[in-house]
Amino acid sequence: MAEWTGKSKGSLLGYKIFVFVLKSFGVSSAYFILRFVAGYFCLFSFKSTQQVYKFLRYRIGFNNFRAITGIYKSYFVFGKCLLDRFIVMAHIPNTFTYTFEGEEHLHSIAAAGEGGILLSAHVGNWEVAGHLLTRIKAKVNVVMMDAEHQKIKSYLESMKERSKLNVIAIKDDISHIYEISAALERKELVCIHGDRYLKGNKTVMVDFLGQEAPFPIGPMSLVFSMKVPVTYVFAIKESNKHYHFYATEPKKFLIDPSKGNARAQLNEAVKEYAKAVENKVKEYPYQWFNYFDFWAKA
């Protein structure tokens, strides 16, 4: 997965321009400008454009014309999700509406008082999902990459609301592992992505959309070692003004000596998670935001 470094594209100036448009002229104006930005990426971001085409053509099964036209739609939807991220973080006036499917599962985990892991993927809008988690009566920790360019990161941080969300940054060392474990020991909730890995992470090859892809075992290892329930969560943009939040019924994974070695059971748990992600990607193919060769072997 050499193509992915944990850094997001975009300049500080670009972010500031869009925030200015959002605050001064509203969401519709920002979405209009985004049409040209999406077109630019179609033409000049060759590597990611190539990967989007391969994904839509060979993994989703679109015909050639639909896959080509889908490249623009994928970039456009991704851009809108990024803008929505700014909107909810900066409290910019909006008319967003939400459907909550399975939110009761999160409330039940919080009420049980034993902590838990909310496992998601780069499908839909995770930043909006994090914003909606403030509805849960529990301390929520969000695990995120710490590889953003520092000026952009500082600007985004200055916009964040003060809430129950605590960010645990993934760094080059393993300090974030201790922070995650400490949060779970305090019976808090931890939100983490389970579909990307960095060089050196342990992975398992999983059949995903018709071809084997490497998935990290780290997030699911935490579920086993900490003996906490896990639920798969997604926030999908269904229209310009509406999001659909999903959460599956929580489940505990415990090592069962009668079912073989621990690594085999861990691998099976990762495959179950990957299947949940696959189902969501099939339903919303334009909201799969992994713009690199996801199927490249580790």
Question: Is position 3 within any domain?
Answer: no
Which pLDDT score is estimated for 251?
94
Question: Is position 293 within any domain?
Answer: no
Which pLDDT score is estimated for 128?
80
Q: Are 31 and 80 in contact (CB under 8 A)?
A: yes
Question: Is position 256 within any domain?
Answer: yes
Q: Is 90 exceeded by the pLDDT of residue 165? A: no
Name the domain count of the chain.
1
Mean pLDDT, rounded, of the chain: 86
Q: Is 50 exceeded by the pLDDT of residue 2? A: no
Token representation of residue 134: 């403030």
Question: Is position 295 within any domain?
Answer: no
Which pLDDT score is estimated for 123?
95
Question: Is position 118 within any domain?
Answer: yes
Question: Is position 5 within any domain?
Answer: no
Q: Is 50 exceeded by the pLDDT of residue 5? A: no
Higher per-residue confidence, 253 vs 3: 253
88-106 residue pLDDT tens: 877 788 888 999 999 999 9
- Please list the residues that pair with 98 across neighbouring strands: 243
CA–CA separation, 154 vs 171, rounded Å?
Answer: 16
Question: Is position 270 within any domain?
Answer: yes
E strand or H helix at 22: helix 12-25
Q: Is 60 exceeded by the pLDDT of residue 242? A: yes
216-225 residue pLDDT tens: 999 999 999 9
C-beta neighbour count of 58 within 10 angstroms: 14
Q: Which of 7, 16, 26, 75 is nearest to 46 (CA)?
A: 75
136-150 residue pLDDT tens: 888 888 887 755 445
Which pLDDT score is estimated for 287?
97
Which pLDDT score is estimated for 1?
37
Q: In Å, how far from its chain's centre is CA 142?
A: 11
Question: Is position 279 within any domain?
Answer: yes
Structural domain boundaries enclosing 31: 12-287
26-73 residue pLDDT tens: 888 989 999 999 999 999 999 999 999 999 999 999 999 999 999 999
Token representation of residue 247: 């959460």
pLDDT classification of 254: cutoffs 50, 70, 90 = confident
